[in-house]
Structure 1
Amino acid sequence: MSPPRPRRFGRAALTAAAVVLLLSVPAAPARATTTFVVLQMNLCNSGLAKASCYTFGRAVDEAVQKIHRYPPEMVTLQEVCHDDVYAPGGWGKLGRAMADLYGSAHVYADFVPAFNRDTGSSYRCVNGQLFGIALLFHYTGGPVHRGWYASQDASEEVRAWTCATVVKARLTACTTHLSTNPDVALRQCHELMSILAASWALPEVIVAGDVNLRYAPGRPHNVQDCVPTGYDRRGDNELQHVFFTRNVQWVRGRIEPMRWTDHPLLYERFRV
């Protein structure tokens, strides 16, 4: 009679036990997500475009109302003056609107002026304040990266971009205002998306701004041509757009006319 083979049985028993143990280990909980509302607004508040869209600060007051009405986690702004965000001794009207919602200690802002190549210094509003773009957000805050595009048009205004860590280790958010020349705007858009391939950009990215490009399939300056692999886009059917990585869940959006500026409010709700 052949001797028994306990080793084979032992292996089978050990394998079965391992399977039972494996099946009994609870799955790692899914990462909690939270609502993340973005408001994108171009306020035309430099005072330089009096004939077309400047309304002597009323667009800023209207933007404050929008912030109070649709409490956002992030606001992206173009054509604003420094004092609209930061005023002497504290927040400007737009910063204060966010602080009203979350408290001053929990609101972060970054303002980047355009550069004026004619004067060799920062671009100014007619009131003498710096003119540019701004990113306002609620959440932890972190490193900020900003700059001016290598590609620029022939006008005196040198366009800028800014990005910040909004949710630590998770979310980078950016804003920009691109050239009114569509060839240059498309190059600048590609440049910004290339910048976001840098190691400091976090796994989740949201970019909102006035990119001066329309969705125009089959035409030379189609904003969709600037959407990188792994990103989606929402827009206002005109020149304002939000680009976001596909690991950011889009929930819904809306376009709401604004009375005191020539661009609508672009509202987008996400889960991050």
Structure 2
Amino acid sequence: MFTHAGAAAVAAILLMAPSLAPTPEPTSTTTEAETSGKRRIRNVESAPPRPIRVLQMNLCNSGLARHCWDKKPGAPQNRAGATMQVAAAEIARIKPTAVTINEICSGDLEGFKQKIGFKGDSFFTVLEGAPGSRTPKKCGQPGKPSKGGDYGSAILTKEPLREPYSEFRLEKAFDTQRNDREVRVMGCRKMPWATVCTAQLHAVPSQESDEDYLRSVQVTADQCFQLSREARRFAGDGPLIIAGDLNLRWNKPHEQNALNLCGKGLTRKGDGNRQHVISGKTFGEPQTEPWPDTSEPDTVWTDHPLFYVDLT
């Protein structure tokens, strides 16, 4: 369970770094995938699964992160599809109730839920540009966008989303951003058994000696606080699960303080690095596993491990 230790330290961080102007919420550029089926799902409460197994995956599949994209095997046009095949096999093995995915392309998500036997998915688009002129950020190298479509995060569930979608789906850009080239967003999907939210927050430098470190922690902490606040408001009195690449590490004091504050009153489990699950539910023992074949230098599928946890 979270403690209140370190609150003063994070407050000091926020005062030390320059404040950033908040940005208005953008208009969503994506819609719930189930709209193509034109089906109306009855708002019938179903028995909650026991346990709820949440699988968090960062696929590093946009082509934008060269440090891992270039290490994926195969020709560039095949790398994303090969990663999705591995992801599907791991989902079949782990058998999660819900999957949260970061660094995925909208085009690579098409047909993926049918392959894994899930009926529902929500995609949340990373944006770029100043407020008022923001557009979806595309997968692929600068000037050479791939056919993967938009870049962002996703939540997949076994059940379709209930209608009207606007009541059961939330997508927002964070008020605090580092730049206009990559406007980070959060997304939530309200199921009968819990509200599930995800985000990939602003990346903090690996080295605390980096002159940009404290400013980056401020930006990421602000986003984490907003993620928690908006997610709790959207979930209301119902159970809440937040899972994603929060880009905050528990073994770094400044980042630990930010995690404590944005998860205040809830329980947090991490993968030992930057991925976390935060919830008010009781946790089973978290599982962290490497992706297949990561021992070979030319078969690195992603720079993040598989991370999943059972919630009761």
Superposition pairs of residues 171-190 of structure 1, within 5 angstroms: 171-180=194-203, 181-190=216-225
Superposition pairs of residues 126-141 of structure 1, within 5 angstroms: 126=140, 127-128=146-147, 129-139=149-159, 141=161
Q: Say which SS state the counterpart of residue 131 (structure 1) adopts.
A: strand
Question: Which structure has the larger Rg over C-alpha atoms?
Answer: 1
Q: Does residue 156 of structure 1 match 2:174?
A: no
Q: Does residue 125 of structure 1 match 2:158?
A: no
The alignment's TM-score, normalised by the length of structure 2, stands at 0.67
Q: Say which SS state the counterpart of residue 153 (structure 1) adopts.
A: coil
Alpha-carbon displacement from aligned partner over 1:244-268 (angstroms, at most 9, x marks no partner): 01xx221222100113100000011
Q: 2:109 aligns with which of 73, 79, 85?
A: 85
Alpha-carbon displacement from aligned partner over 1:2-34 (angstroms, at most 9, x marks no partner): xxxxxxxxxxxxxxxxxxxxxxxxxxxxx9761
Q: Say which SS state the counterpart of residue 238 (structure 1) adopts.
A: coil
Aligned to 1:69: 93
Aligned to 1:266: 307
Judging by fraction of residues, say which structure has more strand.
1
Q: Say which SS state the counterpart of residue 237 (structure 1) adopts.
A: coil
State whether residues 45 and 79 of structure 1, in contact with CA within 8 Å, keep that contact through their aligned partners in structure 2.
yes
Going from structure 1 to structure 2, the CA distance change for 1:162 and 1:75 (only over 3 Å counts) comes to: same
Going from structure 1 to structure 2, the CA distance change for 1:159 and 1:183 (only over 3 Å counts) comes to: same
Aligned to 1:239: 274
- Aligned-pair distance for 1:96? 2.6
- Aligned-pair distance for 1:155? 5.4
Aligned to 2:64: 48
Q: Distance in 2 between matches of 1:189 and 1:209?
A: 11
The AA in structure 1 aligned to 2:305 is: P
CA RMSD of aligned residues (A): 2.1
Unmatched 5+ stretches in structure 1: 1-30
State whether residues 44 and 59 of structure 1, in contact with CA within 8 Å, keep that contact through their aligned partners in structure 2.
no
The count of aligned residue pairs is 224
Going from structure 1 to structure 2, the CA distance change for 1:186 and 1:255 (only over 3 Å counts) comes to: same
Q: 1:59 aligns with which of 68, 83, 89?
A: 83
Relative contact order (C-alpha < 8 Å, sep 6+): which is higher?
Answer: 2
Q: Distance in 1 between matches of 2:134 and 2:50?
A: 44
The AA in structure 2 aligned to 1:133 is: S
Unmatched 5+ stretches in structure 2: 1-46, 73-78, 141-145, 163-167, 204-215, 295-300
The AA in structure 1 aligned to 2:304 is: H
- Aligned-pair distance for 1:36? 1.1
Alpha-carbon displacement from aligned partner over 1:115-157 (angstroms, at most 9, x marks no partner): 0117831000121411100000114633111111001112510
Aligned to 1:23: none
The AA in structure 2 aligned to 1:254 is: Q
Aligned to 1:216: 251
The alignment's TM-score, normalised by the length of structure 1, stands at 0.76
State whether residues 53 and 96 of structure 2, in contact with CA within 8 Å, keep that contact through their aligned partners in structure 1.
yes
Q: Distance in 2 between matches of 1:150 and 1:160?
A: 9
Q: Distance in 1 between matches of 2:57 and 2:48?
A: 29
